[in-house]
Structure 1
Amino acid sequence: MNLEQLQPYLPKNALVFIENWIKPYPLTLKITRSRQTKLGDYRKLQPQQRHQITINGDLNPDAFFFVFTHEIAHMMVYAQYKHGQVAPHGREWKTIFGNLLVESIEIYPEQLRIYILKHARSPKASVGADSNIAKFLINDSEEHQDYLEDLEIGTHFKLGQKIFRKGEKRKLRYICCDIKTNKNYLINATALVEKM
């Protein structure tokens, strides 16, 4: 893999960290189109005995590096514990991902570092589960969009092609009712929505 091709996707000076982290591993990296269900993915390719990481190519550089770090942590966990039973986002992954975030903290903008360090103490399985991280890294809000958490309970909003009514909060998500079907869904607090 020619890592120089990654440079346009990464923040300044991030490539050095990636080179060091992936050096011992046979890795295939794929930069994909935007996927609504995930930002990145790791898997072990068994027949080829290679690791594969995919990352959405439409992420801003800080988000791309953060997601890449998340997936590298999965690869390292697999390499170290391949014969043991470990949870995908369990203690082992949290430790490795947290250490990688601390090691590379200088890459992130000054205003984001405090949130990265806090996240590193107990990393979440998804970027959206940490509202401070999501707001800085993922959600490039357009003027007509709001974060779900900023809307009043009972407000109608559009997400994708559906219209919902915002309900009560449950942990990091809100119970929202699809107006057309009357079915309830749990929607992340940091989802960008269009207020109706």
Structure 2
Amino acid sequence: MNSTEKLQLIFSKHLPPNSIPYCLDLWVKNGFNFTVTPSRKTKLGDFRWRRDSSRQTITINGTLNPYQFLITYIHEVAHLHTYLHCGIETAPHGKEWKSTFQKLMIPLLKPEIFPKDILIPLSRHMRNPKASSARDLFLTKELSKYDLNNNSSQEVFLADLRPGSVFEVQGRKFRKKETRRTRVLCEEIPSGKKFLISQLTKIKPVED
């Protein structure tokens, strides 16, 4: 099995079927090392540039659902294209990257690739893409419906909880206070310590 066949096999396990030829073509045109990794809490994927190497590396979490995997793949390939055409000194998520990301995503923004409930917020997101799609509340909510481990009906997004409500996350109990942009001020129970927690954190509501 050659490299193209190996990558095609990987894609068949992680990508929406109709997106595979396009994603494979991006790899053929600008070859790079590609690795599927275990889940990482701080990132969905990454692009690694090495000045001493002619072949760069892209990694993506293997636990992502197919639609999140596809968005992340194009996100990282956009980094590769940006650095190849604009230079390594270009801002990681500056206007050059945004323009490249938008251009690469356009052929995929259709119902043959994404279901309608994702396509609508994704199209809106791509008008001015953020450094991470995980920072887009509405897009993240729709994508989460297709998560591979979406088997906990008790978990909700912190953003959907009313102020004053009590919740648990990672074995600790908090009370939700006020929302500050993308994070929520929360008070730990019983210590009373204050923490800022992402409004996109999955939490379990509990009785006060």
TM-score normalised per structure 1: 0.90
The 10-residue stretch of structure 1 (133-142 or 123-132) with the greater mean CA deviation from structure 2: 133-142
- Contact 1:101/1:116 (8 A) holds in 2: no
Change (3 A) 1:148 1:46: same
- Contact 1:31/1:54 (8 A) holds in 2: yes
- In the alignment, the residues of structure 2 paired with residue 3 and residue 65 of structure 1 have an alpha-carbon distance, to the nearest angstrom, of 14
- In the alignment, the residues of structure 1 paired with residue 144 and residue 117 of structure 2 have an alpha-carbon distance, to the nearest angstrom, of 15
The 10-residue stretch of structure 1 (172-181 or 120-129) with the greater mean CA deviation from structure 2: 172-181
Unaligned segments of structure 2, at least 5 residues: none
Q: Given the alignment of the two structures, is residue 22 of structure 1 paired with residue 27 of structure 2, yes or no?
A: yes
Report the residue type matching 1:43 in the other structure.
R
Q: Which residue of the partner structure matches residue 126 of structure 2? A: 120
Decide which structure has the larger Cα Rg and report it. Answer: 2
Report the residue type matching 2:71 in the other structure.
F
SS at match of 1:98: helix
Q: Given the alignment of the two structures, is residue 7 of structure 1 paired with residue 15 of structure 2, yes or no?
A: no
Report the residue type matching 1:111 in the other structure.
D
- Contact 2:109/2:123 (8 A) holds in 1: yes
Percent identity between matched residues is: 34
Change (3 A) 1:20 1:145: same
RMSD: 1.9
Report the residue type matching 1:55 in the other structure.
I
- In the alignment, the residues of structure 1 paired with residue 138 and residue 106 of structure 2 have an alpha-carbon distance, to the nearest angstrom, of 17
- Contact 1:175/1:186 (8 A) holds in 2: yes
- In the alignment, the residues of structure 1 paired with residue 196 and residue 22 of structure 2 have an alpha-carbon distance, to the nearest angstrom, of 36
CA deviations over 1:161-182 (Å, ceiling 9, x no partner): 3322212111122122333654
Unaligned segments of structure 1, at least 5 residues: none
- Contact 1:98/1:119 (8 A) holds in 2: no
